Amino acid sequence: MFKHVYQGGAVVEVFSAQGKDPVAKWKLHGGSSAIQKVFDKELKGFVYCLTGCSQTVKMQLPEDGKMTLGLLHRFVVLQVNIPASKDFSIELVTTDAAHLKRRLYLSTVHKEFSATPLHARIPFFPPNQNMWAHLCIDLPSFTAELFKNADFQALDGITVSANCKLRRIFTMKAEPSAASDGAHLSQTCLVDVVPRSWLFPPEVNHVTTVVNIESLRHADVKLPNPDRGE
């Protein structure tokens, strides 16, 4: 889908809740009552609310699973608000340099890692819940660690599952400045990279966090050993 889109800049927009039909190219699971476009008073703009079971309520891009996104940047960033005590998941389909598709499934449901040569289930610990966040997921970090030093080439699929409010998704070439092993950062770490019109309004309480292998190590999550087939 993004094969002919210029990706030489700092960011590429994948989704925005603004506009007439933001989900025209997405496949929605769960029905209109579970996935709704609503006006958020705090942000003073529209967001998509996903409510219900994370196994059945989800947004998938591309709509046709046989298509690929072809997004080349290292980070995928979600502007998301995850409610406390609710499940949330995101599945990312990546392609490596050997043209093998790998699936990264980050979910609050998972308490331990599990990995096969083509699929990894990753425990996910959301940033401050009930608060807006820039959730920056480091794709090469997971690909290299979980799939025997595979080299990340492209992000080819995204599925966001309930429960959350979603404002925007974009990819980013560079790591947020001052990022350090999963620490929460201020929005200023993105100012030189992300268009200012994309950032949260300054009066909105929010965090910026990087999710990678090191951040999970600091959270004392036991990582699988791909050499032992874990």
Give the 3-state secondary structure percentages of the chain, helix then strand then coil, rounded to 5.
Answer: 10, 40, 50
30-83, pLDDT tens digit by residue? 999 999 999 999 999 999 999 999 999 999 999 998 899 999 999 999 999 999
pLDDT tens-digit profile of 136-149? 999 999 999 999 88
According to the CATH classification, is domain 11-221 in 2.60.40? no
- Which letter does DSSP use for residue 187 in this model? G
* Residue % of the chain over a pLDDT of 70: 91
Query: Is residue 171 within 8 Å of residue 156, measured between CB atoms?
Result: no
**Residue 228: is its pLDDT beyond 50?**
no
**In sequence order, what are the residues at sequence separation of 6 or more whose Cβ sits closer than 8 angstroms to the Cβ of residue 56?**
29, 30, 34
* H or E, element range at 206: strand 206-211
The mean pLDDT of the chain is 90
Q: What's the pTM?
A: 0.91
pLDDT of residue 179: 57
Residue boundaries of the structural domains of the chain: 11-221
How many Å apart are CA 139 and CA 179, to the nearest integer?
Answer: 15
What is the end-to-end Cα distance of the chain in Å, rounded?
34
